[in-house]
Amino acid sequence: MSFMSHSIPEEIEDIEMEDKTRIRLTAGEMSGLWAQYLNDTIIICINKFFLEKVEDEEVRPIIEFVLNSAKGNIAIMEDIFTKESFPIPIGFTDQDVDPKAPKLFSDTFVLMFLRHMSILAMAASSAALGVATRPDMVEFHKRVLKIGVQLQDFTRDLMLKQGTYIRPPYLSVPDKVDFVKRQHFLAGFLGHKRPLTSVEITHLFLNVQTNAIGKTLITGYAQIAQSKEVKQYCLRGMEIAQKHVDIFSGFLRKEDLPIPMSWDSALTDTTVPVFSDKLIMFNVAGMIAAGVGNYGMAMAASPRRDVGMKYASLIPEIALYAEDGANIMIKHGWMEEPPQADDRGILIKGK
C-alpha cells in the first residue's frame, strides 16, 4: 500500500486545523478590527438617539436594523479580541450620548445620513476584505459589507418612495463610440473647455452632496458642543464645507446641470448637549478622512485640468483642518492610539 493511500488520523487532523485557526492577526486585520470597533460604538450611540427621537414609522425599522447590526458586530469583535488577548478599545459608551435630549435632526435627514453611512461602510469593508487573510476575518468583513449593501437598499428604497432621493444628473445617450483625438480633451485653464464627462459630473455631484450633509451635521454639532474650542472647530468646518459646495456646484452650473439640495432646514433649534465633545470630534474626523479619499478618487478620475487641479488644491485645506482636530483630541485625551509596530530603539535601550 502506498503512502498516499493512508488516511490521516482524526486527532492529527484536529491538531492541524486548530493550529490554522491560531494564525496571528496581520497589521491589516488589526487595523480593520480596531477601526470597525470604534466606528460601531459611535454608530450605536448615534442611533440610540435617533431611535429615541424618530417619528416616522417607516424610518424606525431602518434605525433598528443599523443599531442591531452594530451590536452584533461588537459581540463578534469582542470575542476575537478576547481570544487574541488584544485590549478591547474603549470607543464610545452611554456616557457619550443623551437619548433623552431634544430632537436635533429631522427624520428625513437621518435617513439621508444613514444612506451616507452605508456608502462609507461598503468602502471600508471592501478595503478591509482586500487585506484580510484569516478565514474569520474574511467572514466578518463580508458580514459588514453585506450590512452596508442592505442598508443602502433600505434607505434608497424608502427615499425613492418618500420622494427625497436625489438622482445624479441625466445625460444624453452617446450617438456612437469615439476616441480622444486631441490634447484639448485635457485642457481646462485656457481657451475652449470641453464638456464635463459623466465620471467628472458624478464625482462633482457626490462631493456637493456629501459636503452638504457634512455641513448640516457639523452645524448641529456646533449648536450642542459644550466647549468653546469644539464649537469654533465646528464653525470652521461649516465654512469649509459651504465653500466646497459652492466650488463644485459652480462646475455643474456652468454645464446647466442640477445641484443637490441643501439640508440646512433639517435642523431643529435645540442647544441641549446630545453627544459628548469627544464623539463630535471623532465623527467629524471620520468625515474628513472620507472626504480626503473622495477627493483623491475624483482627482484621479478627472482628466480636465481645471477640475483635477481644484481637487488637488482643496485636499491640503481639509488635511490641515484634520490635523487641527487631531491636536484638539490629543489635548483633551480623546484620541485612542491605533495598534502600532514595536519601537525597536526603545526596546533595545531599555535592556
Beta carbons within 10 angstroms of residue 138's beta carbon:
14
For residue 116, is it within any domain?
A: yes
What's the Cα-to-Cα distance from 35 to each of 84, 134, 226, 254, 284, rounded to whole Å? 16, 17, 26, 40, 15
76 pLDDT above the threshold of 70: yes
> Residue 61 has which C-alpha cell?
425599522
What pLDDT was estimated at residue 8? 47
Q: Do 204 and 158 belong together in one domain?
A: no
pTM: 0.86
Among 165-169, 229-233, 344-348, name the one with the lowest average pLDDT: 344-348
> Total domain count for the chain?
2
What is the residue range of 270's domain?
195-331
Instruction: Single out the residue in 162, 177, 206 at which a domain terminates.
Output: 162
Mean pLDDT of the chain, nearest integer = 88
Q: Do 135 and 201 belong together in one domain?
A: no
For residue 168, is it within any domain?
A: no
Please state the length of the chain: 351
Beta carbons within 8 Å of 126's beta carbon, 6+ residues apart: 145
* Gap between the Cα atoms of 95 and 99, Å rounded: 10
For residue 340, is it within any domain?
A: no
208-263 pLDDT, tens digit each: 999 999 999 999 999 999 999 999 999 999 999 999 999 999 999 998 888 877 76
189 pLDDT above the threshold of 60: no
What pLDDT was estimated at residue 3? 41
Q: Which amino acid is at 120?
A: L
Q: Do 221 and 151 belong together in one domain?
A: no
What pLDDT was estimated at residue 2? 44
Q: Do 206 and 320 belong together in one domain?
A: yes
Which domain CATH number covers 35? Answer: 1.20.1260.10
Q: Do 96 and 215 belong together in one domain?
A: no
Percentage of the chain surpassing pLDDT 90? 71
**Contacts of the segment 156-162: beta carbons below 8 A, 24+ positions apart:** 156/115, 158/58, 158/59, 158/62, 158/111, 159/111, 159/112, 159/115, 161/58, 162/58, 162/108, 162/111
Per-position DSSP letters for 94-137, written without gaps between them: GGGB-TTSPP-B-HHHHHHHHHHHHHHHHHHHHHHHHH--SHHH
> Residue 251 has which C-alpha cell?
462646475
| Closest among 115, 111, 96 to 281, alpha carbons compared | 96
32-68 pLDDT, tens digit each: 999 999 999 999 999 999 999 999 999 999 999 999 9
Identify the bridge partners of residue 275 per DSSP, sorted by sequence position. 97
> Residue 130 has which C-alpha cell?
482586500
99 pLDDT above the threshold of 60: yes
What band does 184 get if pLDDT is binned at 50, 70 and 90? Answer: low
What pLDDT was estimated at residue 262? 72
What pLDDT was estimated at residue 338? 85
Q: Do 33 and 137 belong together in one domain?
A: yes
Q: Do 270 and 324 belong together in one domain?
A: yes
Q: Do 218 and 156 belong together in one domain?
A: no
Question: 146 φ, ψ to 5°?
Answer: -60, -40
Beta carbons within 10 angstroms of residue 284's beta carbon:
23
Q: Do 131 and 205 belong together in one domain?
A: no
Mean of pLDDT values over 282-308? 91
* Gap between the Cα atoms of 41 and 256, Å rounded: 42
| Closest among 230, 97, 100, 111 to 163, alpha carbons compared | 111
Q: Do 119 and 207 belong together in one domain?
A: no
